[in-house]
A and B are shown apart, each in its own frame.
Chain A
């Protein structure tokens, strides 16, 4: 059963990542520092304004906290794939009876879930300490009692799902860029551009902060679905919008997975690993 192999690859990778909790200290520290700095930036920006583009300061800080989780948790697939290709490890990885792209996804994505989970928990704690709990789901002191709990549970579920989709989409886009190494000796410039676009389009600031034309254009690209989608669901939850964001993420995920497979299919025929 192939699915069993991929499940074991993911769990093995998770245990490998969890074997050294000290590995997370660097990214946890940087993440907390970024969140703190941005909370101060927003404090300055919101001085004299209660709302910007429909976001209160608390929403903007919580937006940043969630939007940064994919960057820290799922931001390094390119480097690990590139390392495998450049140091020749790919020779081992290709000589196995599995679907390389599927296996590699299970292994790399599985491992990254540990770090993403750690960062998310840290983000929740730091956010509560800095600006209090996130805005209620549905905007909702009005949703009292059971309805409020149901809305909170539904939001938590959809934020989790959206983060998982963001991670998977991140993997397939980064893998597609990394596998251009089958043709190119140097491909880091492409990843640099990808990283910067991801940051600008939905990670540092919500899409709604962009000029209308830029926001409209951004929604036609996969970038908002890498970080904007889960962050938006977190701070401005409405079931209709949340499901449409998740559906768009799923669509982009299918396209990105197909792209990665096409790149691998053509690229692996051009593999050039010279020497031992």
Chain B
């Protein structure tokens, strides 16, 4: 049975309309008007035990709202969710025994106290007996390298050190599933790399199902095996990271530099950058043979350097983010093979 199932999951918030003008403002005090904001519009997916899934989308796409519905913090206005066999909306407290969470912009640690105090409290919240807690703490201290700041007040830790502690704290009760909402936000390159390694290791060692939102392509490529992209409240892509990366492989960037100025006219290809002795080309490999392009460029002059690069994954995802609707994202030719929400988006596109 999958660890997480979402079926047509929807959430509509009611927000008060603030009318302009004094008379309208007074009228709204007596008879307020509300507008429906459809944050999540019927998303569907299934996530197996131990899967590492990136849940992506631009700001306001509905990622955090979906996570909160899956944790039982928000009640869906439509559809259903099952997490570890439980209905999050009805069994929130029971579910919280088996599910951990890290919200990158929030903290579960006590600010003026060392992490050890927060871990002790968390141990009591999850009813872990003291001996088991100490054993688990020792394991996490070693794995996450927390020893140097185990007894240092959290306020004195760097952001990277704090996030390490947050992540370790969320793993203290050995959760079956872990929800992470932008866990590396604000971290420097080194701290990000460390957190990604720790996350991947947590998934491997504890066989934890990981469901992670992030805007950082590095997080996604290094940690996750599958990507679900949500946009305008709908799933528009649901496929393996390999498949997502293959999209970027269909486009290559070829850069060349010559010892002296050359003529670089190639049939059907125009350079995206050009100087008298250098140029770079964007090559759609479905239309042009990469080998022929390289051969043609090598034959044009005294070649000093040539580079061939994949299109960054970021560009593929940015193209989806820039669309105005789920249907439009689908029209980019991206396949949402697993998601029913995406299937609907596909139908809308074809209509």
Contact = CB atoms under 8 A, between A and B. Distances in A.
A3 to B, nearest CB: 10
Interface in B40-84: 59-60, 63-65, 68, 71-75
A16 B110 contact: yes
A8 B126 CA distance: 12
Nearest to B16: A185
Contact of B92 (A89, A94, A103): A94
A276 B67 CA distance: 10
A187 interface: no
A120 interface: no
B135 to A, nearest CB: 18
B101 interface: yes
A97 B96 contact: yes
Given A5-B127, A15-B117, A276 B105 contact: yes
B197 to A, nearest CB: 24
B113 interface: yes
A1 B127 contact: yes
B320 interface: no
Interface in A240-276: 269, 271-276
B101 A272 contact: no
Contacts of A98: 93, 125
Contacts of A276: 63-64, 103-105, 181-182, 213
B343 interface: no
Given A96-B125, A274-B39, A12 B113 contact: yes
Contacts of A275: 59-60, 64-65
Interface residues of A, number: 30
Contacts of A119: none
Contacts of B64: 275-276
A88 interface: yes
A9 interface: yes
A92 B120 CA distance: 17
A272 B71 CA distance: 14
A20 interface: yes
Given A5-B125, A8-B124, A91-B103, A273 B73 contact: yes
Contacts of A8: 120-121, 124
B35 interface: no
B92 A19 contact: no
Contacts of B235: none
A15 B16 CA distance: 41
B117 A96 contact: no
Q: Which of A16, A95, A98 has the most CB of B within 10 A?
A: A95
Given A12-B113, A96-B125, A273-B68, A19 B153 contact: yes
Nearest to B14: A272
Q: Which of B37, B74, B75, B108 has the most CB of A within 10 A?
A: B74
Given A5-B124, A5-B127, 15 more contacts: A1-B127, A8-B121, A8-B124, A9-B124, A12-B110, A15-B113, A91-B68, A94-B73, A95-B72, A95-B99, A98-B93, A185-B16, A271-B73, A272-B13, A273-B73
Interface of B: 13-14, 16, 37, 39, 59-60, 63-65, 68, 71-75, 92-94, 96-97, 99, 101, 103-108, 110-113, 117-118, 120-121, 124-127, 153, 181-182, 213
10 contacts: A12-B117, A12-B121, A16-B111, A90-B73, A91-B71, A94-B73, A95-B72, A96-B96, A97-B93, A276-B104
